[in-house]
Amino acid sequence: MTALWQLSARQLARLVQSGEVSARELARTFLDRVDRLDPALRAFVDHRGERALADADAVDAALARGEPVGPLAGVPVAWKDNLVRRGEVTSAGSRMLASYRSPFTATALQRLEAAGAVLLGRTNMDEFGMGSSTENSAHGPTRNPWQPDCVPGGSSGGSAAAVAADLCPLAVGSDTGGSVRQPAALCGVVGLKPSYGRVSRSGLIAYASSLDCVGVLARTVDDAALWLRCTAGSDPGDPTSAAEALPEFAVEARPDLRGLRIGLPWELNGPGLADEIEAVLADARAQLRTLGAELVECSLPHVSVAVPTYYLLAMAEAASNLARYDGVRYGFRGAASGSCEAMTTASRSSGFGAEVQRRLLLGTFALSCGYQDEYYGKATQARERLREDFRRAFAGCDLLVSPTSPVPAFPLGSRIDDPLAMYLCDALTVPASLAGLPALSQPCGRTAAGLPVGLQWMAPPRREDLLLQAAHVFERHTDHHLPRALP
Amino acid sequence: MNAFTTVIGLEVHVQLATQSKLFSPAPAAALGEPNSRVHAIDLGLPGVLPRPNATAIELAVRTALALDGQIQPVSRFARKNYFYPDLPKGYQISQFEEPICRGGAVPIGDGRSCRLQRIHLEEDAGKLTHSDAGTLVDLNRAGMPLVEIVGEPDLRSPAEAHAFLHHLREILRHAGVSDCDLELGSMRCDANISLMPAGSTQLGTKVELKNLNSLKMVQRALEYEERRQTAVLAAGGRIAAETRGWNDEAGESRPQRSKENAPDYRYFPDPDLPPLVVDEATIERQRQLLGELPERRRARYRGRFALPEHDVVALTQDRAVGDWFEALVAAGVDAKTASNWTIGEVLPAQRDLGVALADFPLPPPQLAELLALLADGTLTQVTARKVFRHLCTHRVPARVAVRELGLARLDDPAALQPLVAAALAALPEAAAAVQAGKERALDALKGHVMRQTKGRADPDLVDRLLRAAIAALGPR
């Protein structure tokens, strides 16, 4: 018999709605797994324990009264430590906010709770989202459930590891340059980054505002779609949230991929890939053909400058976004005597980790007088070119695919001292981020060592429907998503 | 004559009269307990995003219309980055390369005007209070909506700078975009001043003056700076490009910051805010709400109402006063009477009561009822004023007040006859004087009757009755 923890979020919600299982039983089941498995993994930085059980009881009570409960009734959901929830600590993986409690709740979390979800706990991340391995966390690193010596990817590594280890069926993440998709690939789960503006950023601790997207880690494509339906939609709290509503669509609408032209941008499908990734992807492409898709070669010429473009823009915005952490009103305050300036310097020099300080200094430089045109200005132009590349590519095909990560999960500590090698982990995910496109990573095979490999899908702006339908076809006809990392 | 030409350009910050702040729902009121008017957005808490206030944008549009600027259909908010404890986010949301308005002008009298370079929206910072115990931060003001109005260096004297601010304030008050109070900080002015040799077109090195908290201070500080720069240049010295703070008590400015130490603000478009789009409908609506500007209104009062200049000026200093006057005229009061009562009675009474005109207890239609009783002879000037004062504190119709006070005009000869006789008995010398041809002596007799009736007697009737009674005494 299938255990509760092996079921999808949709299946679990149905069991709760029909009264076969109580929300408390679900919360208990997953909290027990967290207690048993997480001390070794460290996917969570904190779980809500009794408070989660109390929330589950509230769902059960509502059901008992015959009140309507949402499509996520009783489903335990973890969330990345950079989405605030009223009264809870939100640290963004930083010493700077180690004891910071928010007076309000992120819109995405509010909507999940309104849909009946039970918030289980916060997951680990690279400090302020800056990293691709979850090693840059004030809480220490998270381990990959498939291979404990390896990283889970990042920055939403805690959320990816939690879902991969079945500590929760859904975990909220955030994706600025690949922070949902890359850890999803390295942990063998589904990772969805919606279109920019699709899910409100209100309550998401900003890294780079023009790129930040709230996303989700899930076991199945259908669960990712379910999550999107519950969280998408405009929000007065986020002036960049999209006005147009998510279209009504069924994930299982397509029996196969016939009639779809799938583009293979050669810049993302060859250069710099590890051999074992290339081999798995070749099989995946063959599978797409078998499912009826027409695969076409295409080109995104400006992908060659996507990584420097991304890092310039993200660091510049970060330097401004993180200026508020000055030790004056909240957060870590460094010991300093004399001037306010000395206090702010001390607070930032010891409140932020090394990678955050590196990015803030580079970002400040990229915006400074005399260099702004050369760096920030050029990057803004390059971003426009890349958007244009995508417009051209989508004129000739419906969707694009590539590997999600050029490498599988790598050993802890192997890249942390080489920022450039770490930045190149994002080479395949940053193009969709820069263009604001919806993108998804799903498991598509394994390396000889048994490490998961991710297939990345990219769709035209606001075409999450197409993205999720195609990925769902691939999932239904393959079994890469089925193996469990931990019993 | 002076060997130098003075060149002055003003930058004026005006606080827009909105209910809430520019990017947060906190009340836009800088007063109150420190940090009591503060939303999570104003504190720059993690995860907050700005929420643009539509009213502030509309008032900026109205400001641009009032000053004849070109409203930009698309503009952008930008971040001005610097660290300071009164700046919660570490950046101020302002507009830089793409302001909401370009151009425009402010009249400076005699049909001349000073061009504007631009008008842009921005949020205010908080306030620091330094004490022995340390520095205190109050963020009530943080996030207040401002427009910055940047003038071209068209002004040639401190007096012109004064005229610029005087007209600007008058226009913006009329437009209803701000109360423009320099003392309270809802209007703040920085002045740039430089000197160049007379006849030259090459601008000299400019100095920025700050801390100018009244119209007079602006003029005094500029006059001081004009003298200081003249002395430096005349002695063959050079002007340092710097910011100087005006100290009004000492009557001098002091250096605050040299331009070499100016911070690098690293402006860039705010990625949290989409481009600001102002559509034609918004502009049209604001054009309607802008109404008539003071200069036009004065012309109309001179022409159509034929009011003397004193009245025209008094009625147009504030839009509300003119509106009040026009409401009286619209209610049927003739223009001169309406003007006299507005200036002579309503405004002093309003000041005594300490209320806004809008809250004045006797609105124009009710005052018009009272003035109708004056016009039809029911009341005299004296009794009308008495009823007016009564109505300022009692909310009853004018006719009721007249009855309650017993102030209706006495115009019954039978009732007045005994009072006339009493006056003649009380002042026989006056009666004799009148008989002797001294007309002015009649006033004493009239005054007697009026006093006895507390001003209610019809003066013309009393005049007639007195004359008849004196004639009846027969020749001496």
Is the separation of the CB atoms in A251 and A468 below 8 Å? yes
- What are the CA-CA distances from residue B18 to residues A156, A374, A425, B26, B56 (Å)? 41, 40, 49, 11, 6
What CATH number has the domain spanning B413-472?
Answer: 1.10.10
DSSP E strands in B124-206: the ranges are 127-131, 134-138, 145-151, 187-197
Confidence of residue B476 (pLDDT cuts 50, 70, 90): low
Rounded Cα gap, residues A179 and A310, in angstroms: 13
Rounded Cα gap, residues B120 and B101, in angstroms: 6
pLDDT tens across B17-40, in order? Answer: 999 999 999 999 867 899 999 999
Checking if the pLDDT of B408 tops 80, the result is no
- Residue A42 falls in which region: left (phi positive, over 0), alpha (psi -120 to 50) or beta: left
Contact B46 A100 (CB under 8 A): yes
The tokens for B64 are 């641009």
pLDDT at B2: 65
Contact B47 A205 (CB under 8 A): yes
Give the residue on B whose Cα is nearest the Cα of A327.
B85
pLDDT tens across the length of chain A (487 residues): 689 999 999 999 999 999 999 999 999 999 999 999 999 999 999 999 999 999 999 999 999 999 999 999 999 999 999 999 999 999 999 999 999 999 999 999 999 999 999 999 999 999 999 999 999 999 999 999 999 999 999 999 999 999 999 999 999 999 999 999 999 999 999 999 999 999 999 999 999 999 999 999 999 999 999 999 999 999 999 999 988 889 889 999 999 999 999 999 999 998 788 899 999 999 999 999 999 999 999 999 999 999 999 999 999 999 999 999 999 999 999 987 778 899 999 999 999 999 999 999 999 999 998 888 899 999 999 999 999 999 999 999 999 999 999 999 999 999 988 888 888 889 999 999 999 999 999 999 999 999 999 999 999 999 999 999 999 999 999 999 999 999 9
Rounded Cα gap, residues B172 and B160, in angstroms: 18
Element (H, E) at B50: none
Is the separation of the CB atoms in A44 and A205 below 8 Å? no
What is the distance in angstroms between the Cα of B161 and the nearest Cα belonging to chain A? 32
pLDDT at B475: 65
Checking if the pLDDT of B452 tops 90, the result is no
Residue spans per domain, chain B = 4-280, 292-405, 413-472
User: In sequence order, what DSSP letters do the residues of A291-330 get, joined into one string?
Assistant: TTPEEEEE--GGGGGHHHHHHHHHHHHHHHHGGG-SSSSS
A155: preceding bond cis by omega (within 30 degrees)? yes
- Could you give phi then psi for residue A348, rounded to 5 degrees? -75, -30
- Nearest CA-CA partner of B149 in B92, B101, B77: B101
∠ CA B367-B368-B369, rounded to 5° = 90
pLDDT at B330: 93
Contact B45 A206 (CB under 8 A): no
Residues of chain B with pLDDT > 90, as a percent, come to: 63
Is the separation of the CB atoms in B254 and B245 below 8 Å? yes
- Could you give phi then psi for residue B191, rounded to 5 degrees? -120, 135
User: In sequence order, what DSSP letters do the residues of B261-296 get, joined into one string?
Assistant: G------EE-TTS--EE--HHHHHHHHHHH---HHH
- Nearest CA-CA partner of B76 in B89, B57, B90, B62: B57
- Nearest CA-CA partner of A176 in A310, A365, A367, A325: A310
Contact A369 B264 (CB under 8 A): yes
- Nearest CA-CA partner of A43 in A131, A128, A136, A156: A156
A202, A317, A328 member nearest B47 (Cβ): A202
pLDDT tens across B45-66, in order? Answer: 999 999 999 999 999 999 999 9
- Could you give phi then psi for residue A13, rounded to 5 degrees? -60, -40
pLDDT tens across A114-169, in order? Answer: 999 999 999 999 999 999 999 999 999 999 999 999 999 999 999 999 999 999 99
Confidence of residue B1 (pLDDT cuts 50, 70, 90): very low
Rounded Cα gap, residues B204 and B201, in angstroms: 9
Interface residues of A toward B, Cβ cutoff 8 Å, are 83-84, 90, 92, 97, 100, 102-104, 106, 201-206, 208-210, 236-240, 316-317, 319-320, 322-324, 326, 328-330, 340-341, 344, 364, 367-369, 372, 376
Q: Please provide the distance, in angstroms rounded to a whole number, between the alpha carbons at the two ends of chain A.
A: 14
Chains A, B: CB contacts under 8 A, how many?
Answer: 97
Highest mean pLDDT among A29-38, B127-136, B204-213, B420-429: A29-38
Confidence of residue B415 (pLDDT cuts 50, 70, 90): confident
Contact A329 B266 (CB under 8 A): no
Q: In whole numbers, what is the pLDDT of chain B averaged over residues?
A: 91
Catalytic residue, from A159, A179, A405, A441: name it.
Answer: A179
